[in-house]
Chain A
Amino acid sequence: MGDRGLAGRLGPALGLMIAALALAFAALPAASDEAGDLRHVAAGLFGSPAQDMAVSPASGSPPAREVRRNARLIGYLASTAEVAHSVGYSGKPIDILVAIDPEARIVGTHLVSQSEPILTLGIDESDIARYVEGFAGYDLAKAVTKQGGKGLPDAISGATISSGVIRDGIIRTARAIAISRGLIAGGGERKLDMGHFAQQSWPQLAATDAIAHRRITLGDARKALSPDLFRTAGAPDAETFIELYLALLNPPSIGQNLLGQRDYNALMSRLSAGDTALFIAASGLYSFKGTAWRKTGRFERIEIIQGNHTITLDRSGYSNVGEVAAADAPSLREAGRFIIPAATSFDPTKPFRLSLLATSDLDGAGLAASFFVDYALPDAFLTGPAVETQAARQPLALWQENWRNRVPAIVFVSLLLAILAAVLVFQDWLAQHYRFYRWTRIGFLGVTLVVLGWGMGAQLSVVHVIAFAQALRTGFEWENFLLDPLIFILWSFVAIALLFWGRGVFCGWLCPFGALQELVNEAARALRIRQMPVPFGLHERLWPIKYVIFLGLFALSLQSISRAFVMAEVEPFKTAITLHFWRAWPFVAYAAALLAAGLVIERFYCRYLCPLGAALAIPARLRMFEWLKRRPQCGTECRICAARCTVGAIHPDGHINPNECIHCLNCQMLYYDTTTCPPLKARMARRAAHHAAVQRASEERQAP
Chain B
Amino acid sequence: MLTRRRTLSILAATSGLLGLGGALPHDLVSEWRGPVLGAEGRMLLAGMARRRAREAIAMTLAEVERLEAVFSLYRPGSELSRLNAAGRIDGPSHELRVLIGRSLGYWRKTDGAFNPAVQPLWSFLARHFAANPAAEPDARRLADLVRLADPALISLGAGRISLAPGMALTLNGIAQGFITDRVAELLRGAGFADVLVDLGEFRALPGRRWTIGIEGGGGSVDIADCGLATSASAGTRFTADGRWHHLIDPQSGRSASGFASVTVSAASAAEADALATAFAVAGPSALTRLAQRFPGIAVKAVGAGVTPLSSPAA
Residues of chain A touching chain B, judged by Cβ–Cβ distance below 8 Å, are 57-63, 85, 290, 292, 296, 298, 300, 303, 305, 307-310, 312, 351, 355, 357, 359, 363-370, 374, 474-475
Residues of B within 8 A of A59 (CB): 34-35, 61
Q: B102's closest neighbor in chain A, by CB?
A: A367
Q: Are B158 and A292 in contact (CB under 8 A)?
A: yes
Complex Cα distance A308/B63, Å? 6
| CB of B57 within 8 Å of the partner chain | yes
Q: B41's closest neighbor in chain A, by CB?
A: A57
Q: Contact partner of A363 among B25, B33, B94, B157, CB < 8 A?
A: B157
- Having A62-B54, A368-B97, one finds 7 other A-B pairs with CB under 8 Å, namely A59-B35, A63-B32, A309-B66, A355-B94, A359-B101, A367-B104, A368-B94
**Using an 8 Å CB-CB cutoff, how does the interface string of B14-46 with A read, 1 for contact, 0 for none?**
000000000001110000111100000000000
Q: B99's closest neighbor in chain A, by CB?
A: A368
Residues of A within 8 A of B65 (CB): 308
18 CB contacts below 8 A, A to B, read A58-B34, A59-B34, A61-B55, A61-B57, A63-B32, A292-B158, A298-B91, A305-B66, A310-B93, A357-B97, A363-B157, A366-B104, A368-B98, A368-B101, A368-B102, A370-B95, A370-B98, A475-B27
CB distance from A122 to the nearest CB of B (A): 29
| CB of B85 within 8 Å of the partner chain | no
| CB of B90 within 8 Å of the partner chain | yes
CB distance from B99 to the nearest CB of A (A): 9
Q: B154's closest neighbor in chain A, by CB?
A: A365
B55-75 residues with Cβ-Cβ distance < 8 A to A are 55, 57-59, 61-63, 65-66, 69
Q: Are A300 and B91 in contact (CB under 8 A)?
A: yes
6 cross-chain pairs, A with B, having the tightest CB-CB distances, nearest first: A364-B158, A308-B66, A308-B65, A307-B62, A61-B58, A292-B158
Q: Are A367 and B101 in contact (CB under 8 A)?
A: yes
Complex Cα distance A60/B33, Å? 11
CB distance from A365 to the nearest CB of B (A): 5
Q: With a 10 A CB-CB cut-off, give which of B25, B62, B157, B158 has the most chain A CB atoms.
A: B158
Q: Are A364 and B34 in contact (CB under 8 A)?
A: no
| CB of B156 within 8 Å of the partner chain | yes
Interface size on B, residues (CB 8 A): 36
Complex Cα distance A308/B65, Å? 6
Q: With a 10 A CB-CB cut-off, give which of B27, B50, B97 has the most chain A CB atoms.
A: B97
Q: Are A365 and B91 in contact (CB under 8 A)?
A: no
CB distance from A383 to the nearest CB of B (A): 20
CB distance from B10 to the nearest CB of A (A): 15
Q: A363's closest neighbor in chain B, by CB?
A: B158
Q: Contact partner of A57 among B33, B57, B59, B104, CB < 8 A?
A: B33
Known interface pairs A298-B91, A475-B26. Does A365 touch B35 (Cβ–Cβ under 8 Å)?
no
Complex Cα distance A63/B26, Å? 18
Residues of A within 8 A of B157 (CB): 363-365
Q: Contact partner of A292 among B27, B35, B155, B159, CB < 8 A?
A: B159
Complex Cα distance A365/B101, Å? 8
Residues of B within 8 A of A63 (CB): 32
**Using an 8 Å CB-CB cutoff, how does the interface string of B227-253 with A read, 1 for contact, 0 for none?**
000000000000000000000000000
Residues of B within 8 A of A364 (CB): 156-159
| CB of B105 within 8 Å of the partner chain | yes
Residues of A within 8 A of B62 (CB): 307-308
Known interface pairs A59-B34, A85-B50. Does A370 touch B94 (Cβ–Cβ under 8 Å)?
yes
Q: B35's closest neighbor in chain A, by CB?
A: A57
Q: Are A296 and B91 in contact (CB under 8 A)?
A: yes
| CB of B189 within 8 Å of the partner chain | yes
Residues of B within 8 A of A475 (CB): 25-27
Q: Are A369 and B98 in contact (CB under 8 A)?
A: yes
Q: Are B26 and A474 in contact (CB under 8 A)?
A: yes
Q: Contact partner of B34 among A57, A85, A307, A363, CB < 8 A?
A: A57
Known interface pairs A300-B91, A357-B94, A367-B102. Does A308 touch B156 (Cβ–Cβ under 8 Å)?
no
Q: Contact partner of B93 among A61, A62, A303, CB < 8 A?
A: A303
Residues of A within 8 A of B63 (CB): 308
Residues of A within 8 A of B66 (CB): 305, 307-310
Q: Are A303 and B54 in contact (CB under 8 A)?
A: no
Q: Are B27 and A367 in contact (CB under 8 A)?
A: no
Q: Contact partner of A312 among B61, B91, B98, CB < 8 A?
A: B91
Residues of A within 8 A of B94 (CB): 303, 355, 357, 368, 370
Complex Cα distance A357/B158, Å? 11
CB distance from A317 to the nearest CB of B (A): 15
B78-106 residues with Cβ-Cβ distance < 8 A to A are 90-91, 93-95, 97-98, 101-102, 104-105
Q: Contact partner of A300 among B98, B101, B104, B158, CB < 8 A?
A: B158
Q: Are B105 and A367 in contact (CB under 8 A)?
A: yes
Residues of B within 8 A of A310 (CB): 66, 93
Q: With a 10 A CB-CB cut-off, give which of B104, B155, B159 has the most chain A CB atoms.
A: B159
Complex Cα distance A661/B116, Å? 86
CB distance from A483 to the nearest CB of B (A): 18
Residues of B within 8 A of A369 (CB): 98
Residues of B within 8 A of A355 (CB): 94
CB distance from B19 to the nearest CB of A (A): 19
Complex Cα distance A298/B97, Å? 15
Residues of B within 8 A of A370 (CB): 94-95, 98
Q: A351's closest neighbor in chain B, by CB?
A: B59
Residues of B within 8 A of A357 (CB): 94, 97-98
Q: Contact partner of B69 among A58, A61, A292, A308, CB < 8 A?
A: A308
Known interface pairs A61-B58, A308-B65, A310-B93. Does A296 touch B98 (Cβ–Cβ under 8 Å)?
no
Complex Cα distance A649/B159, Å? 93
CB distance from B163 to the nearest CB of A (A): 14
Complex Cα distance A355/B97, Å? 12
Residues of B within 8 A of A58 (CB): 33-34
Q: A307's closest neighbor in chain B, by CB?
A: B62
Residues of B within 8 A of A290 (CB): 158
CB distance from B185 to the nearest CB of A (A): 9
CB distance from A354 to the nearest CB of B (A): 11
Q: Contact partner of A374 among B27, B32, B101, B189, CB < 8 A?
A: B189
Complex Cα distance A355/B98, Å? 12
Complex Cα distance A61/B32, Å? 11
CB distance from A21 to the nearest CB of B (A): 34
Complex Cα distance A370/B92, Å? 13
Complex Cα distance A370/B98, Å? 7
Q: Are B156 and A296 in contact (CB under 8 A)?
A: no
Residues of A within 8 A of B95 (CB): 370
Q: A366's closest neighbor in chain B, by CB?
A: B101
Complex Cα distance A307/B61, Å? 9
